């Protein structure tokens, strides 16, 4: 049977949608504006509003399609519910993991996260921090890329809550949460020495970065503690390319290393490429260790022993510190804790890339 569709002549007029406010809900439920407001703000129990009234208001709000006025909420709470996240580079799995954890955790708490990838460039970082500060955000989580601190000092003057993750400045009164990079490197070098290695090469990242400096210090002091000379420290950036070039040069030495300690997984990838090209077998010909513990380390031809950073713990603690600072500011409270510096000891994940020479 043919279904007939009626034809309507003339223009179709759209129905104007009514702006649903708490007054609309109050009129629909015959409940006072104050009570409706308290129910919608989730404080029914505090003001002893009956479950029946609460259910009545919430049902009406859902039926009428009520949407809270976010601007009004922000003004009332003195918050924008937006956080800036400044990352050196999302190409590095360590930083992208942190970005993912921070974004998900803050989103669950009702915050939007504005992420900036600085590509390890100081100028990009400076511009990003200034632009975020101008957007009336509630606070920032930053992993610094450069050496300049003036833009961070400006945040302190503007009283914008800030927490550093992983990289920090000892002479800047900004709270930070980080892996104990010194302890991690010290643990790994001790493991290599305990396995009989004495010619241990260290391929580092950017010299000015605190995490790198602490890892190099851990390497140096572990060698010194066992009365061994620093065999080799080379490299200048946390990149695949630098790991590759440094390894090519390193393996030209007449007295070759028995082990290489790459100070990041990105450096490690370059190390592995160089060794593979030159026909070295891991761990038969040379042992390898790294700092970061990316997921792919288990799936390499020879799974690589690594320092595992407590990424989730670092990110979650940093979020708690920042939200506490934001709450204190919005409530016009003085900070009770001041600068908080937290280091978390990492652990070694033992795989198959370190050969015992004993």
Q: What angle do CA 202, 299, 248 make, to 5 degrees?
A: 35
How far apart are the C-alpha atoms of 300 and 334, rounded to whole Å? Answer: 51
Residue 319 CA to residue 222 CA, distance in Å, equals 33
What is the structure's pLDDT at 272? 98
Are the C-beta atoms of residues 103 and 115 closer than 8 Å to each other? yes
Whole-number pLDDT of residue 70: 57
Residue 282's domain comprises 181-308
Q: Give the pLDDT of residue 337.
A: 64
Residues 257 and 187 in one domain: yes
C-alpha 328/C-alpha 340 separation (Å) is 15
Using only C-alpha atoms, the chain has a radius of gyration, in whole angstroms, of 28
Do 42 and 123 lie in one domain? The reply is no
158 & 114 share domain: yes
Give me the pLDDT at residue 65, please: 85
> Residue 34's domain is classified under what CATH number?
1.10.260
237/208 same-domain check? yes
The torsion angles phi and psi of 112, rounded to 5 degrees, stand at -95, 145
Give the list of residues 6+ apart from residue 67 with CB closer than 8 angstroms, or none.
20
How far apart (Å, rounded) are the C-alpha atoms in residues 282 and 289?
A: 11
Chain centroid to CA 189: how far?
A: 27
What is the reported pLDDT for 46? 84
> Same domain for 253 and 220?
yes
pTM of the model: 0.80
Residue 35 located in a structural domain = yes
**Domains contained in the chain, number:** 3
* Three-class DSSP labels, 47-72: CCCCHHHHHHHHHHHHHHCCCCCHHH
Q: Which of 6, 37, 68 is the last residue of a domain?
A: 68
**Domain identity same for 43 and 85:** no
Q: Does residue 191 sit in the same domain as residue 269?
A: yes
pLDDT in tens, the chain (358 residues): 444 444 334 443 434 446 788 889 999 999 999 998 888 877 888 899 999 999 999 999 889 888 776 555 555 555 678 999 999 999 999 999 999 999 999 999 989 999 999 999 999 999 999 999 998 899 999 999 999 999 999 999 999 999 999 999 999 999 999 999 999 999 999 999 999 999 999 999 999 999 999 999 999 999 999 999 999 999 999 999 999 999 999 999 999 999 999 999 999 999 999 999 999 999 999 999 999 999 999 999 999 999 999 999 999 999 999 999 998 887 777 765 678 999 999 999 999 999 999 9
Backbone dihedral region of 293: left (phi > 0), alpha (psi from -120 to 50 degrees) or beta? left
* Within-domain flag for 246: yes
Question: pLDDT tens, 303-319?
Answer: 999 999 999 999 999 99
In 3D, which of 235, 215, 238 has the Cα closest to residue 92?
Answer: 238
Alpha-carbon distances of 33 from 22, 50, 67, 255, rounded to whole Å: 7, 15, 16, 83
**273 within some domain:** yes
Same domain for 287 and 216: yes
86 located within any domain = yes
Strands 341-344 and 259-262: unpaired
| Cα separation, 288 vs 258, whole angstroms | 9
CATH number of the domain to which 131 belongs: 3.40.50.2300
For residues 144 and 266, give the distance between their C-alpha atoms in angstroms, rounded to a whole number. Answer: 18
How far is it, in rounded angstroms, from Cα 212 to Cα 11? 70
Give CA separation, 7 vs 3, 4, 174, 225, 227, in Å.
13, 9, 69, 92, 95
Q: Looking at the structure, do residues 117 and 199 belong to the same domain, yes or no?
A: no
Cis peptide before 44 (omega within 30 of 0): no
85 and 234 in one domain? no
Tell me if 108 sits within 8 A of 315, measured CB to CB. Answer: no
* Burial of residue 212 (number of CB atoms within 10 Å: 0-12, 13-18, 19+): buried
Same domain (yes/no): 268, 295: yes
**Is residue 36 in some structural domain?**
yes
- Asked if residue 251 is part of any domain, the answer here is yes
Boundary residue ending a domain (68, 100, 128): 68
Same domain, 83 and 55: no
User: Does residue 4 belong to any structural domain of this protein?
Assistant: no
- Asked whether residue 262 is assigned to any structural domain, the reply reads yes
């Amino acid at each position: 049977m043919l279904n007939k569709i009626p034809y309507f002549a003339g223009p179709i007029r759209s129905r104007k949608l009514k702006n649903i406010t708490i007054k609309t809900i109050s009129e629909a439920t015959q409940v006072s504006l104050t009570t409706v407001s308290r129910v919608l703000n989730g404080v029914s129990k505090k003001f002893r509003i009956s479950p029946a009234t609460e259910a009545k208001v919430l049902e009406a709000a859902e039926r009428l399609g009520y949407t809270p006025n976010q601007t009004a909420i922000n003004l009332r709470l003195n918050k924008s519910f937006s956080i800036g996240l400044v990352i050196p580079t999302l190409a590095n799995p360590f930083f992208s993991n942190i970005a993912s954890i921070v974004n998900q955790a803050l989103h669950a708490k009702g915050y939007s996260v504005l992420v900036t990838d600085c590509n390890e460039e100081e100028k990009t970082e400076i511009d990003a921090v200034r632009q975020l500060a101008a957007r009336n955000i509630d606070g920032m989580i930053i992993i610094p890329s450069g050496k300049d601190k003036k833009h961070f000092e400006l945040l302190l003057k503007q009283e914008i809550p800030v927490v550093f993750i992983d990289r920090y400045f000892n002479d800047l009164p900004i709270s930070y949460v980080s892996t104990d990079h010194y302890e991690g490197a010290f643990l790994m070098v001790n493991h290599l020495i305990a396995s009989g290695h004495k010619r241990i090469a260290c391929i580092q990242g950017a010299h000015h970065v605190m995490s790198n400096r602490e890892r190099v210090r851990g390497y140096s002091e572990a060698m010194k503690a066992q009365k061994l000379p620093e065999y080799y420290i080379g490299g200048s950036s946390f990149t695949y390319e630098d790991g590759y070039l440094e390894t090519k040069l390193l393996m030209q030495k007449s007295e070759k290393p028995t082990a290489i300690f790459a100070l990041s997984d990105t450096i490690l990838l370059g190390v592995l490429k160089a060794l593979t090209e030159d026909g070295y077998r891991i761990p038969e010909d040379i042992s390898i260790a790294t700092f970061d513990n990316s997921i792919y380390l288990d799936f390499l031809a020879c799974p690589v022993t690594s320092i595992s950073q407590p990424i989730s713990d670092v990110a979650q603690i940093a979020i708690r510190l920042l939200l506490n600072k934001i709450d204190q500011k919005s409530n016009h409270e003085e900070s009770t804790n001041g600068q908080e510096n937290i280091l978390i000891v990492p652990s070694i994940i033992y795989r198959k890339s370190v050969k015992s020479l004993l």
